[in-house]
Amino acid sequence: MSPIILILIAIGLSLAGWLAGRAKAWTFQESGSTQRPVARPTYHAWYVAVWIAIPVTIFIVAWSILSPQLVTQSVLASPGAADLPAFGFERESWLAEARAVAGGNAPGVFNEGAEALIDPFRQANARYSVIGYVLTVLIALAGGMFAFLRLRPDFRARTKVERVVMVALLLASLVAILTTFGIFMSLVFETVRFFGMVSPVDFLFGTFWGPDPMSSPDNPDASRYGAIPLFWGTIFIGAIIAMIVAIPLGLMSAIYLTQYADPKLRTWVKPALEILAGVPTVVYGYFAALTVAPMIRDAAVAVGIENASTESALAAGVVMGVMIIPFVSSMADDSIAAVPGSMRDGSYAMGATKSETITRVLFPAALPGIVAGVMLAVSRAIGETMIVVMAASTAANLSANPLERMTTVTVQIVKMLTGEGSFDHPATLSAFALGFVLFLVTLVLNFIALRVVKRFREAYE
């Protein structure tokens, strides 16, 4: 049974209810009664449609979660399930195979024992899909009839429909809170489990990172879970190297575009910079790993540094910096534009040149906004994943040499969660602890930056 068919049925029934409701409402107007109907026919129509659509939608969601379990239960009760292993992995795989064959997703079963389960699955699928269709139609009819019978010339359909719309608006805006809450809870939950195995002190202050996903999960070696090298790598690549590239280039291009360039050039160059921001990070990662990293290595070897790595922190950081340029540039652009023109005019009137006005008047005045922009840029850089996954190393290294291999928090999250590790292993859970740290740090950076920007805007308004 496919939920798509159920959804189509629901849409069809709602449409039918809509038309029926409107038809009935038209008769109120045409019947020539002395009293004008309170609501327009469209609102009667929507009232009926809503009374069909909402119960049916709730039913479909519940049914698509519930029905696979009902199917499995009835299969287990069938005689073919007598040979099924009592529990464990084999039982699950037999069931999964038979389910796949019955659903037409697989040509045949691998375990012969599962053969006997295919027919029970087919029968149960057929039975429950019929039940699903019948219940859908019944619920739709019940809702539709209830609403339809309430339609009268003096029925305030518009008020009712608008109340539903208001509730929908409120629910939609609550999704954001729910998402934040979901992120927070899932990170906290797994992080607490992780800290049950490895103490937070070892995690936050240890200087050796080398979790072994293959080791026994029961008694983890806490000394292998020191995250300092990861934090250092993240800061070194994202907040130091990338910013050394992005801040001067972004700032200077914003200054040139807003203060010097003629409008014609600006209309061409600005979209070009926006393209730089729109290139997907996986493309930057590929570019960093395949082109920039070997170039940097060759250059380092040419000047006599023999141990330069092809997975150097420098390559990842420089490419990340290039990615951030448009971001810094647009933040600086906004901040400089927010400085009142009278300050600039005053500076010119005193005989200052353009560059003196920019560096001594506009820049200091815009500084809070620019600093906030840089903070947002840093939070974006340290959360950036694909460039470092592809171009940086997975080996943790506490070093200040940009030509050495270095790893970051995001690289380790990807590494720990894309392996085959079990969800009970501290190595897997450590990814959530790292994610939690990352979440908190970006949250704080953003919060401060937005506050600064807000206060800065108010200062000049």
Q: Does 189 bind another protein (CB under 8 A)?
A: yes
Q: Does 142 bind another protein (CB under 8 A)?
A: no
Q: How far is the CB of 385 from another protein (least distance, A)?
A: 4
Kindly tell me which residue out of 110, 146, 205, 260 binds another protein, with binding defined by CB under 8 A: 260
* Bridge partners (DSSP) listed for residue 209: 225
**What is the 8-class DSSP label of residue 83?**
G
Q: Does 193 bind another protein (CB under 8 A)?
A: no
The residue count for binding another protein (CB under 8 A) is 87
Q: Does 39 bind another protein (CB under 8 A)?
A: no
Beta carbons of 210 and 398 less than 8 angstroms apart: no
**What is the 8-class DSSP label of residue 37?**
P
**Binding track, positions 404-433, relative to another protein; x by CB under 8 A:** ------x--xx--xx------------xx-
Phi, psi of 225 (to 5 degrees): -115, 35
Binding to another protein (CB under 8 A) within 366-405 occurs at 376, 379-380, 382-386, 389-390
Beta carbons of 224 and 430 less than 8 angstroms apart: no
Burial readout 334-345 (b: 16 or more C-beta within 10 A, e: otherwise): bbbebbeeeebe
Nearer Cβ to another protein (240/386): 386
Kindly tell me which residue out of 20, 95, 316, 325 binds another protein, with binding defined by CB under 8 A: 325
Q: Does 8 bind another protein (CB under 8 A)?
A: no
Please tell me the distance from the alpha carbon of residue 143 to that of residue 55, in angstroms, as a whole number. 7
Beta carbons of 419 and 430 less than 8 angstroms apart: no
Nearer Cβ to another protein (312/379): 379
Q: Does 442 bind another protein (CB under 8 A)?
A: yes
Closest by Cα among 383, 387, 363, 365 to 446: 383
Tell me the CA distances in angstroms from 113 to 9, 102, 118, 124, 141, one per residue in order: 37, 15, 10, 18, 44
Binding to another protein (CB under 8 A) within 340-359 occurs at 353-356, 358-359
Nearer Cβ to another protein (84/413): 413
Binding to another protein (CB under 8 A) within 93-112 occurs at 105
Helices (H) then strands (E): counts for the chain:
18, 0
Kindly tell me which residue out of 204, 439, 448, 457 binds another protein, with binding defined by CB under 8 A: 439
